[in-house]
Amino acid sequence: MKAVRIHEHGGVDVLQVDDIPKPEPGPGQVLIHLKTSALNHLDIWVRNGFPGISLPMILGSDGAGQICTVGESVTRFKADDEVLIQPLVYCGACRNCQAGNENMCATMGILGESTNGTNCEFIVLDEKFVEPKPDNISFTEAAAFPLVGQTAYQMLVKRAQVQPGENVLVWGAGSGVGHMAVQIAKIAGCNVIATAGTDEKCSFARDLGADLVVHHYNDNVAGVIKSFCGKVDVVFEHVGKATWDVSMKVLKNGGRVVTCGATTGPNVAIDLRYLFFKQQSVLGSTMGDADSFTQVIKLVEEGQLKPRIDKTFSLDDIASAHEYLENSEQFGKVVITI
């Protein structure tokens, strides 16, 4: 089968389409014929390299397709079922998993990072990492929301615990995780202030339902927010160094900043005097628990949450897809058709 693998870390030239043996499902596992996969910033981080990645690695965290065969004792699926993949890998047996905190499992990982991923024709997974594809969405849409939807839901609903009527700032509404966050915060009844870096992305953010859209290069973000609502209750952070100071500046007393990423750099300054005096919280969040995934699928099934596809690339054209994502050109998701 074809699989996008890296054998070393580096730029887009390390992405190789290899021909490797098709895997076979063991007990409790299913073999999925993937039809689509989606890109995330994680793919670029893994490609560039950080400690703990075993090589070679098949990239890709998100995917959707059809069941080919099932292993012994599989109960939930049969051949030809249409499915999507839950990108978080966890044991299911430890104390954290038993308590429903699968994203805090000691063996927690992500497909395409800790184990081979979805940029390939076939994948074998434990059936607990697979869910039926909602009938109202295409395979392209089914690959476009799992990682970013699960992440955004965990951040807003589980970590920041947003409440109806709260003001929420979402940085980078054009990004995969940002476009989910705008919609999830609106579904939760919040007022959403979204930022974007081009006029086209600002229109996209309005179309997603944002109440106020700020051009984060042309406008004074803190000034515009001040006129709109004063300060915000929650900041949805995934940008890091470039946005952190403004994130803290616009946060009201008792407010929460929740962060899942640092695309512009991880080292930021916090003035502890402001933090304790204003009784603010900085919340780290990574991926989401299994319930967040279930809840996000439900919202998609109900038609409330809509994954938006910006562009699709073929598996053979994976390098162009990485370049496109790295240049932050996208509105919503970049999907790979297999």
- Whole-number minimum distance, CB 117 to Zn ion, in Å? 20
- Answer yes or no whether residue 97 interacts with Zn ion by CB under 5 A: yes
| Pairing of the two strands 212-215 and 309-314 | unpaired
d(CA 320, CA 122): 22
Instruction: CB nearer to Zn ion: give 94 or 187.
Output: 94
- Nearer to Zn ion among residue 90 and residue 145 (C-beta): 90
- 3-class SS string, 281-327: EEEECCCCCHHHHHHHHHHHHCCCCCCCEEEEEEHHHHHHHHHHHHC
31/108 with CB nearer Zn ion: 108
Interface with Zn ion includes 91 (CB under 5 A)?
yes
Q: If binding is defined by CB under 5 A, does position 182 make contact with Zn ion?
A: no
Nearer to Zn ion, 92 or 284 (CB): 92
DSSP 8-state class, residue 163? -
Residues 110, 31: Cα–Cα separation, whole Å: 18
Under rule CB under 5 A, residue 105 binds Zn ion: yes
Query: Quick check: 94 binds Zn ion (CB under 5 A)?
Result: yes
Cβ 21 to Zn ion shortest distance, Å:
29
Angle between helix 199-208 and 176-187 (nearest 10): 30
Residue 319 in contact with Zn ion, rule: CB under 5 A: no
Contacts of 47 (CB under 8 A, 6+ apart): 6, 9, 10, 11, 12, 14, 15, 59, 322
Retrieve residue 182's tokens. Answer: 């705008």
CB-nearer residue toward Zn ion: 127 or 233: 127
Question: Which string of x and - marks every residue 45-84 that binds Zn ion (by CB under 5 A)?
Answer: ----------------------------------------
Residue 105 or 235: the one with the smaller Cβ distance to Zn ion is 105
* Environment class of 165 (CB within 10 Å of its CB; exposed 0-12, middle 13-18, buried 19+): exposed
Minimum CB distance to Zn ion, residue 43 (Å): 24
Q: Which residue ranges make up the site for Zn ion (CB under 5 A)?
A: 90-91, 94, 97, 105
